[in-house]
Structure 1
Amino acid sequence: PLGQSTTAVGRLADVAPTAVGGSLAPALGAFAVVYGVPVMGFALLWLALSAALVVRALRRGMPFSLGWWAFTFPIGTCVTGAEALAHRTGPVAFQWLAVGLFALLVTAWVTVFAGTVRGLIGGALLAGPQAPRPGTARTR
C-alpha cells in the first residue's frame, strides 16, 4: 500500500496540468516528491522487516500455501512507486531501485509459481483441512 500511494500521487501530479491547470500543477508535482520520498523510505523499511520475518518463519518450518501469493502485491506496488519517483525526480538511484525491486518481484513470482505447481502436482494444495489429532489440544 505504501508503494501504491506513491504511485498514485506521482500519477496525479502527471495529469495535474490538464486536470487543474497550470497554476496548481507545479505544487502538486512538488507534493508528489515531498510525499513520495519518505513514504518510499518507509516502504523499503517495511520490505526489509517483512523479509526478515519471512526468513525466520521459513527457518521454523512455515509450509507453502496459496497465501504466499500475497507477498507479490506489496513488492509490485513498491516497483511502481519507485518508478513514479524516478519519473518525477530523475535521479538514476530511483531508476535502479525500481529495477532492483522489479527483479525481486520476478523472483517472488517465480518462487510462488513453482511452489503452486509443486503443490498442485503433489496434491497438497487440493487437500482439505485435517482435523486436529487427539491429544494435541489442551483441554480441561
Structure 2
Amino acid sequence: MQRAPNTQVIHIKHSQIGTGSLGLLLLGQAPPAAFDGTQPAHVAMVARDFGVIGGSLLWGAGLWWLVVAIALTLSYLRDGMTFNMGWWRLTFPIGVYASAIFTLDRLTQFTPLAAIGTVMAVMAVALVGFWLIVVTKTLNGMWLGSLFRAPCRLRA
C-alpha cells in the first residue's frame, strides 16, 4: 500500500463537508412541501431554516478546508508528489461545492453567492480536464505496472 500524503486526507474531509452542506440544504427544502396546508406547516419552515443555517455553516467550514487543501496540494507538488490512486480523491469535492453554493444562492437570494458559485462552476468545468489527466495516469500506471508497486514496501 502506498503512504497517502496528508493532502489526500484533507480532500476526503473536504468532500464529506461539501456533501453534508448540500444534503442539509436539500433536506431543509423537503418539509415545507411535505407539510404544506397542514397544522405542522410552521414547524416545517423552521426545519427549512435549520437546513439553510446548517448548510451555510458546513459550506463555510468547507471553504476553509478547500484553501488548506489547495495550499497543501501545491506544496506536495513542489516537493515532487508522484501519481497514485489517491489523486482520484481530488476530483470529487469541487463539483459538490459548486452544487451547494448554487443551492444556497437560490435559497437565500444573497447575490455574492452567485459570483462565488460561478467561480466554483468554472473550477468544476476545469475539473473535467483534471479528471482526464487522472484517468490517463491511472491507465498508464496499470499498463506499466507502476501503479501497483508500493514505495513504502520497497523501503522496508
The interval holding the TM-score normalised by the smaller chain is 0.7 to 0.9
Q: In structure 2, the residue corresponding to 1:64 is in which secondary structure?
A: coil
Q: Does 1:36 align with 2:55?
A: yes
Q: Does 1:99 align with 2:118?
A: yes
CA apart distance, 1:64: 2.5
Counterparts of 1:34 and 1:44, CA distance in 2: 15
Counterparts of 1:9 and 1:24, CA distance in 2: 16
May I ask how many residue pairs the two structures share in their alignment? Answer: 133
Instruction: Sort the Cα spacing of 1:7 and 1:77 in 2 relative to 1 into closer, same or farther, 3 A.
Output: same
User: Unpaired runs of 5+ in structure 2?
Assistant: 1-15
Other-structure match for 1:137: 155
Q: Does 1:81 align with 2:100?
A: yes
Q: In structure 2, the residue corresponding to 1:23 is in which secondary structure?
A: helix
Counterparts of 1:17 and 1:102, CA distance in 2: 28
Whether the aligned pair in 2 keeps the contact of 1:6 and 1:84 (CA below 8 Å) is no
Q: Does 1:116 align with 2:131?
A: no
Q: Which of the two has higher C-alpha Rg?
A: 1
- Code of the residue aligned with 1:137 in structure 2: it is R
Name which of structure 1's ranges 104-113 and 39-48 shifts more when overlaid on structure 2: 104-113
| Counterpart among 18, 35, 41 of residue 3 in structure 1 | 18
- Code of the residue aligned with 2:21 in structure 1: it is T
Whether the aligned pair in 2 keeps the contact of 1:71 and 1:108 (CA below 8 Å) is no
Whether the aligned pair in 1 keeps the contact of 2:32 and 2:48 (CA below 8 Å) is no
- In the TM superposition, structure 1's runs of 4+ consecutive aligned residues that sit over 6 Å from their partners are none
Instruction: Sort the Cα spacing of 1:56 and 1:14 in 2 relative to 1 into closer, same or farther, 3 A.
Output: same
User: Unpaired runs of 5+ in structure 1?
Assistant: none
Whether the aligned pair in 2 keeps the contact of 1:66 and 1:116 (CA below 8 Å) is no
Q: In structure 2, the residue corresponding to 1:81 is in which secondary structure?
A: helix
- Code of the residue aligned with 2:69 in structure 1: it is S
Other-structure match for 2:5: none
| Counterpart among 123, 133, 143 of residue 126 in structure 1 | 143
TM-score normalized with structure 1 length: 0.80
Counterparts of 2:117 and 2:150, CA distance in 1: 45
Q: In structure 2, the residue corresponding to 1:61 is in which secondary structure?
A: coil
Instruction: Sort the Cα spacing of 1:19 and 1:118 in 2 relative to 1 into closer, same or farther, 3 A.
Output: same
Whether the aligned pair in 2 keeps the contact of 1:68 and 1:112 (CA below 8 Å) is no
